[in-house]
């Protein structure tokens, strides 16, 4: 068996995606979208940001609401600052090359690799015999999303690290088996947001802020207005102690640590900076300050989101344009890949 070639020479490209599972929230913004916006500033890298509706059907879903969920996610991307002129924003299912690529990569990935994926175990739950086969091969479709653009960088949250490693394994295996000494696919680098950007539930500092949490008070949605944001922060769970002066002393105080982390991320400071200002003060003083920062930062985003979502035709035009751009890059890659594996035509 020949060695794995590592001489990838293609252009730098960025790809990422989110599921269209209802409303996006502060955790999505600080953990991902903010970084997507930063990445598009460098014009030397083309950016592709998709809404992964093909991944969404790996779990039971409602066909009637899926298209609006896609629009809603796309609107949130734009409201957060992703520029549809600079970056391609599109629905995954509008670019058939993802599915074609996924089939080929399904035949490159090994069963044993997929059996180690922890997200499948979490999502499938106890009765994994009843999980869809799509849920099992979900990470291969994710690798296809990435490799069909030969994306070199993928900004994701910490929880996607394992899927990105799998993507590299698949790319390396393909290069070794079919590359004839050339690295056809890049070994994609994950851009993982730091632990500071891991935003937890406002009701429980040990679980991630999530759109599936039954309590709406657990999260700040990108569409919440100023009053709602302030109310949720006021209600956020805390402990009775005042804020400490050092980051080390936040250890074991999950809720306090989370609120300080949110303040830091929103205001572009470190947790230490925030504690230098608020150490010794109680939550009665800190929460209104946090609410101010959150409202100041998020109000323009939520205003823009509400404006966009009220004009479906505009979002659809933008998604159509984004899909055309994406297809122009993805189709030649999948055509080349089909030829490489010996497909007819």
Active-site amino acid positions: 123, 208, 211
Q: How far is the CB of 84 from ligand TRP (least distance, A)?
A: 19
The CA distance from 277 to 190, in Å, is 34
- Residue 35 or residue 337: which is nearer to ligand TRP going by CB? 35
Q: How far is the CB of 66 from ligand TRP (least distance, A)?
A: 15
Q: Does 15 bind ligand TRP (CB under 6 A)?
A: yes
- Residue 136 or residue 283: which is nearer to ligand TRP going by CB? 136
3-class SS at 67?
A: helix
Q: Say how many C-beta atoms besides its own lie within 10 A of residue 195's C-beta.
A: 8
Q: Does 147 bind ligand TRP (CB under 6 A)?
A: no
Q: Cα separations (Å) of 109 from 48, 162, 246, 317?
A: 24, 14, 46, 36
Q: Cα separations (Å) of 269 from 44, 120, 192, 195, 249?
A: 28, 35, 19, 14, 18
Q: Does 17 bind ligand TRP (CB under 6 A)?
A: yes
3-class SS at 132?
A: coil
Q: For residue 127, give every residue at least 6 positions away whose Cβ sits within 8 Å of its Cβ, in sequence order, or none.
A: none
Dig out the tokens for 90 from the structure. 């599109």
- Residue 210 or residue 270: which is nearer to ligand TRP going by CB? 210
- Residue 229 or residue 330: which is nearer to ligand TRP going by CB? 330
What's the DSSP call for residue 200?
Answer: B
Pairing of strands 153-156, 88-91: unpaired
Q: Does 16 bind ligand TRP (CB under 6 A)?
A: yes
Q: How far is the CB of 159 from ligand TRP (least distance, A)?
A: 7
**What is the footprint of ligand TRP within residues 153-192 (CB under 6 A)?**
154, 156, 160, 163
Q: Say how many C-beta atoms besides its own lie within 10 A of residue 23's C-beta.
A: 17
Q: Binding marks (x or -) toward ligand TRP, 104..143, rule CB under 6 A? A: --------------------------------------x-
Q: Does 35 bind ligand TRP (CB under 6 A)?
A: no
Q: How far is the CB of 167 from ligand TRP (least distance, A)?
A: 8
Geometric angle at alpha carbon 339, from 333 and 345, rounded to 5° = 110
- Residue 15 or residue 33: which is nearer to ligand TRP going by CB? 15
Q: Does 88 bind ligand TRP (CB under 6 A)?
A: no
- Residue 201 or residue 257: which is nearer to ligand TRP going by CB? 201
Q: How far is the CB of 15 from ligand TRP (least distance, A)?
A: 6
Which is nearest to 91 in space by CA: 125, 55, 137, 43? 55
**Alpha helices (H) along the chain:** 26-28, 34-39, 53-56, 66-80, 97-106, 111-115, 118-124, 133-147, 161-178, 226-235, 254-267, 271-278, 283-309, 312-340
**What is the footprint of ligand TRP within residues 197-226 (CB under 6 A)?**
none
Q: Is 306 exposed, middle or buried (0-12, 13-18, 19+ CB in 10 A)?
A: middle
Q: How many residues bind ligand TRP (CB under 6 A)?
A: 14
The one among 46, 53, 100, 145 contacting ligand TRP by CB under 6 A: 145
Q: How far is the CB of 274 from ligand TRP (least distance, A)?
A: 27
Q: Does 13 bind ligand TRP (CB under 6 A)?
A: no
The one among 30, 108, 146, 275 contacting ligand TRP by CB under 6 A: 146
Q: How far is the CB of 135 from ligand TRP (least distance, A)?
A: 11
**What is the footprint of ligand TRP within residues 48-77 (CB under 6 A)?**
52, 55
Q: Which stretch binds ligand TRP (CB under 6 A): 14-22, 176-184, 203-211, 323-331?
A: 14-22
The CA distance from 22 to 211, in Å, is 7
Q: Say how many C-beta atoms besides its own lie within 10 A of residue 182's C-beta.
A: 13
Residues that bind ligand TRP (CB under 6 A): 15-19, 52, 55, 142, 145-146, 154, 156, 160, 163
């Amino acid at each position: 068996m020949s060695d794995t070639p590592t001489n990838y020479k293609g252009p730098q490209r960025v790809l990422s995606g989110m599921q269209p599972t209802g409303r996006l929230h502060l955790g999505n913004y600080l953990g991902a979208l903010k970084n997507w916006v930063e990445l598009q500033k460098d014009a030397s890298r083309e950016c592709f940001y998709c809404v992964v509706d093909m991944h969404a059907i790996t779990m039971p879903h409602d066909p009637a609401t899926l298209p609006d969920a896609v629009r809603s996610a796309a609107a949130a991307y734009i409201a957060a600052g992703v520029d549809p002129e600079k970056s391609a924003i599109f629905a995954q299912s509008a670019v058939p090359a993802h599915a074609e690529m996924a089939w080929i990569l399904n035949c490159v990935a090994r069963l044993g690799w997929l059996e180690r994926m922890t997200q499948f175990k979490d999502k499938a739950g106890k009765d994994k015999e009843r999980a869809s086969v799509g849920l099992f091969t979900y990470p291969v479709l994710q690798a296809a999303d990435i490799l069909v653009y030969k994306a070199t960088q993928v900004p994701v949250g910490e929880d996607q690290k394992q899927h990105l490693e799998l993507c590299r394994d698949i790319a390396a295996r393909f290069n070794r088996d079919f590359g004839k000494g050339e690295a056809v696919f890049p070994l994609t680098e994950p851009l993982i947001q730091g632990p500071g950007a891991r935003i937890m539930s406002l009701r429980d500092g040990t679980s991630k802020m999530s759109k599936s949490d039954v309590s709406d008070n657990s999260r700040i949605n990108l569409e919440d207005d100023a009053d709602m944001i302030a109310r949720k922060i006021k209600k956020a769970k805390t402990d009775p102690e005042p804020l400490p002066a050092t980051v080390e002393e936040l250890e074991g105080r999950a809720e306090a640590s989370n609120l300080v982390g949110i303040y830091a991320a929103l205001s572009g400071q470190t947790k230490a900076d925030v504690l230098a200002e608020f150490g010794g003060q109680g939550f009665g003083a800190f929460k209104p300050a946090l609410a101010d920062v959150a409202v100041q930062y998020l109000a323009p985003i939520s205003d823009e989101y509400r404006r966009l979502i009220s004009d479906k035709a505009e979002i659809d035009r933008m998604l159509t344009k984004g899909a055309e751009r994406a297809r122009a890059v993805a189709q030649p890659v999948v055509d080349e890949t089909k030829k490489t594996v010996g497909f007819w035509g």
